[in-house]
A and B are shown apart, each in its own frame.
Chain A
Amino acid sequence: MAYSGKVIDHYENPRNVGSLDKEAPNVGTGLVGAPACGDVMKLQIQVSDAGVIEDAKFKTFGCGSAIASSSLATEWIKGMTLEQAMSVRNTQIVQELNLPPVKIHCSVLAEDAIKSAIADYRRKQRGSQTQPSLGES
Chain B
Amino acid sequence: MAANLPIYMDNHATTRVDPRVLAAMLPYFCEEFGNAASRSHVFGWNAERAVEQAREQVAAIIGASGREIVWTSGATESDNLAIKGAAEFYRDRGNHIITAVTEHKAVLDTCKRLEKSGFEVTYLPVERDGRVNPQAVADAMTDRTIVVSIMLANNEVGTINPVAEIGQVVKARGAVFHIDAVQGVGKIPFDVASTHADLVSLSAHKMYGPKGVGALYVRRKPRVRIAPIIDGGGHERGMRSGTLNVPGIVGFGKAAEISAAEMPEESKRLLALRERLRLGIEARVTDTVLNGSLEHRLPGSLNMSFAYVEGEALMMALKDVAVSSGSACTSASLEPSYVLRAMGVPVEMAHTSIRFGLGRFNTEEEVDYVIDLVAQKVRKLREMSPLWEMAQSGVDIKSIQWAGQR
Q: Once the chains are docked, how many angstroms separate the CA of A44 from the CA of B207?
A: 51
Chain B residue at minimum C-beta to C-beta distance from A35: B348
Per-residue 0/1 for B160-188: is the Cβ within 8 Å of any A Cβ (1 yes, 0 no)? 00000000000000000000000000000
Which one of A31, A42, A62, A134 contacts B313 once the chains associate, using CB atoms below 8 Å?
A: A62
Instruction: Evaluate whether A38 and B328 lie within 8 angstroms (CB atoms) in the complex, with A17-B384, A102-B334, A134-B401 already known.
Output: yes
Indicate if the CB atoms of B389 and A19 lie closer than 8 Å.
yes
Q: Once the chains are docked, how many angstroms separate the CA of A129 from the CA of B217?
A: 70
Residues of A within 8 A of B389 (CB): 19, 42, 59
Q: Once the chains are docked, how many angstroms separate the CA of A120 from the CA of B313?
A: 28
Which one of B327, B334, B402 contacts A35 once the chains associate, using CB atoms below 8 Å?
A: B402
Indicate if the CB atoms of A40 and B332 lie closer than 8 Å.
no
Per-residue 0/1 for B337-366: is the Cβ within 8 Å of any A Cβ (1 yes, 0 no)? 000000000111001000000000000000
Residues of B within 8 A of A19 (CB): 389
Per-residue 0/1 for B308-338: is the Cβ within 8 Å of any A Cβ (1 yes, 0 no)? 1110110010000000000111101010100
Q: Once the chains are docked, how many angstroms separate the CA of A87 from the CA of B397?
A: 31
Indicate if the CB atoms of A38 and B384 lie closer than 8 Å.
no
Which one of A17, A32, A36, A102 contacts B383 once the chains associate, using CB atoms below 8 Å?
A: A17
Indicate if the CB atoms of B386 and A34 lie closer than 8 Å.
no
Residues of B within 8 A of A66 (CB): 310, 313
Main secondary structure of the interface of A (DSSP, over half): mixed
Residues of A that sit less than 8 Å from B by CB: 1, 3, 8, 11, 14, 17, 19, 31-42, 59-64, 66-67, 102-103, 105, 134-137
Indicate if the CB atoms of B403 and A135 lie closer than 8 Å.
yes
Residues of B within 8 A of A67 (CB): 313, 384
B26 contacts partner chain A, Cβ-Cβ < 8 Å: no
Residues of B that sit less than 8 Å from A by CB: 308-310, 312-313, 316, 327-330, 332, 334, 336, 346-348, 351, 383-389, 397, 400-406
Give 20 CB contacts A-B under 8 Å: A8-B316, A17-B384, A31-B386, A35-B387, A37-B406, A38-B348, A40-B385, A40-B386, A41-B386, A61-B309, A61-B388, A63-B313, A63-B316, A63-B327, A67-B313, A67-B384, A102-B332, A105-B334, A135-B403, A137-B403
Indicate if the CB atoms of A63 and B329 lie closer than 8 Å.
yes
Cβ distance B26 to chain A, nearest Cβ, rounded Å: 33
Residues of A within 8 A of B402 (CB): 33-36, 40, 135
Residues of A within 8 A of B385 (CB): 40, 59-61
Indicate if the CB atoms of A135 and B312 lie closer than 8 Å.
no
Indicate if the CB atoms of A64 and B313 lie closer than 8 Å.
yes
Cβ distance B324 to chain A, nearest Cβ, rounded Å: 12
How many A-B residue pairs have C-beta atoms within 8 angstroms? Tell me: 92
Indicate if the CB atoms of A36 and B403 lie closer than 8 Å.
no
Residues of A within 8 A of B329 (CB): 1, 38, 62-63, 103
Residues of A within 8 A of B405 (CB): 34, 36-37
Q: Once the chains are docked, how many angstroms separate the CA of A43 from the CA of B405?
A: 20
Q: Once the chains are docked, how many angstroms separate the CA of A26 from the CA of B384?
A: 23
Residues of B within 8 A of A17 (CB): 383-384
Residues of B within 8 A of A137 (CB): 403
Residues of A within 8 A of B384 (CB): 14, 17, 59-60, 67
Q: Once the chains are docked, how many angstroms separate the CA of A36 from the CA of B349?
A: 8
Q: Once the chains are docked, how many angstroms separate the CA of A38 from the CA of B385?
A: 12
Besides the known contacts A3-B316, A36-B405, A63-B329, 14 further A-B residue pairs in the complex with CB atoms under 8 A apart = A1-B312, A1-B330, A11-B313, A14-B384, A19-B389, A37-B406, A38-B327, A38-B351, A60-B384, A64-B312, A64-B313, A67-B384, A102-B334, A105-B406
Residues of B within 8 A of A36 (CB): 346-348, 351, 402, 405
Which one of A1, A102, A136 contacts B403 once the chains associate, using CB atoms below 8 Å?
A: A136
Q: Once the chains are docked, how many angstroms separate the CA of A67 from the CA of B263?
A: 43
Residues of B within 8 A of A105 (CB): 334, 406
Cβ distance B16 to chain A, nearest Cβ, rounded Å: 23
Q: Once the chains are docked, how many angstroms separate the CA of A64 from the CA of B384?
A: 12
Q: Once the chains are docked, how many angstroms separate the CA of A137 from the CA of B406?
A: 11
